[in-house]
Each structure stands twice: as C-alpha cells, then as structure tokens.
Amino acid sequence: MSAALAEHCGPATLDLGCGTGESTITRATADPSRLVIGIDRSSARLDRHRPVPANARLVRANIDDVLATARAAEWTLDEALVLYPNPYPKSGQQSRRLYGRPALFDLLAVARTIVVRTNWAVYAHEFAIAVEAAGGPSVTPQRWAPATATSAFERKYLAAGHALWAVVVDQSGRAGSPDRATTATPSPIARAR
C-alpha cells in the first residue's frame, strides 16, 4: 500500500471494511485519477470481487493495523470511506466499533474527509459524538438517499426501505489537518439520544 501511495500523484481513498470490493471499484471507476484502496479482513469476501480497475487495490488486512501504519508513515489521504460497518449492536460491544477503538485517532490523523454511511441511526450519532470527543470537528449525521447503491449492503437496505444515515467529517479547513489528533483511547460512548 505504501508503494502504491508513493507512486500515485493524485487523490487517494481508503475504503475501510470494503467487503467484496464493490464500493472500492465504484469509487475508483467514478474518478480514474483517484487511487482507491479497499481494506477488508475477510479473504472470502475479497475473493468475490469483479475485475478491479488499474486505480484500485483490494487488500486483506486488519483496519486498525492499516490505520496505525498509515499514521506512523504519515500518509495523507483525501478520503476514507466507512460504508455500512458492522455496528456491533449489543451495548457490551461498543469497544469493537471503529469509534470505540484507538483506530479512530489514527483515522482522524490521516484522512482529510471521512465518510460514514449506516442504516443504524445510533451508530451515526455515536460516531459523530466520538469524532468531536477525539478532537475532530463537530458533525451532524444526515439522512442519506443515494440515487444508486454503491455496495451490496446499501442496495439491500434501500430495497428493505431502511432509513440510511451519513456522517461526513470534513477536516480540510482545520489547522494542522489531517495530522493533529491525539493518541489517547476514546472512552466508550453512551447511547445517543
């Protein structure tokens, strides 16, 4: 990944938890000047992808490890996508959510823009609260109604009539962005009201 980023002269996106890579391929196809790297821990999911454009990579890796490496290597990403992550809905699972782990600080340190989409309003609101608690900008989750789905989960939730939510963390205008986050561990976030 480091070599691909070093060789690339245009914008770059990490697609975290990309599953089969459909969202990675969709993003890369929409912007051929952009390098899009899809990360997923499941080789079974990644093995189901269709052909990948030249400006896309699919990598089997742990998201936390990738983000820690990205921060240590001082990567600067234009965008990070977190599309329909496993929300770990039980209250005892909050520390497994991306915003409940130290990886959130690494994500804030390397990405100018973070886009989160989910069908679970609680996840969207808690992500927004955690970003601000971690020193990021104040953000408000918004209802999301895409014209076309970018992943199998988005298509499934649209077909089922679920309300979709988006959280867009834009750090591009902030002083020191993107590398200004602290290294403390975020505290578990209480259920958003």
Q: What is the pLDDT of residues 152-174, one digit of tens each?
A: 899 999 999 999 999 999 998 76
What's the structural domain count of the chain?
Answer: 1
Q: What is the mean pLDDT of the chain?
A: 86
Domain with 125 in it: 2-170
Q: Is residue 150 part of a domain?
A: yes
- pTM metric for this prediction: 0.85
Q: Is residue 141 part of a domain?
A: yes
Q: How confident is the model at residue 61, as a pLDDT? A: 95
Q: Which pLDDT tens digit goes with each residue over 31-71?
A: 999 999 999 998 888 888 778 999 999 999 999 999 999 99
Q: Read out DSSP for the chain?
A: -HHHHHH--S-EEEEET-TTSHHHHHHHHH-TTSEEEEEES-HHHHTT--PPPTTEEEEE--HHHHHHHHHHTT--EEEEEEES-----SGGGGGGSGGGSTHHHHHHHHEEEEEEEES-HHHHHHHHHHHHHTT------EEE--SS-SSHHHHHHHHTT--EEEEEEE-TTSTT-SS----SPPPPPPPP-
Q: Is residue 190 part of a domain?
A: no
Query: Residue 93: which pLDDT band, with cuts at 50, 70 and 90?
Result: confident
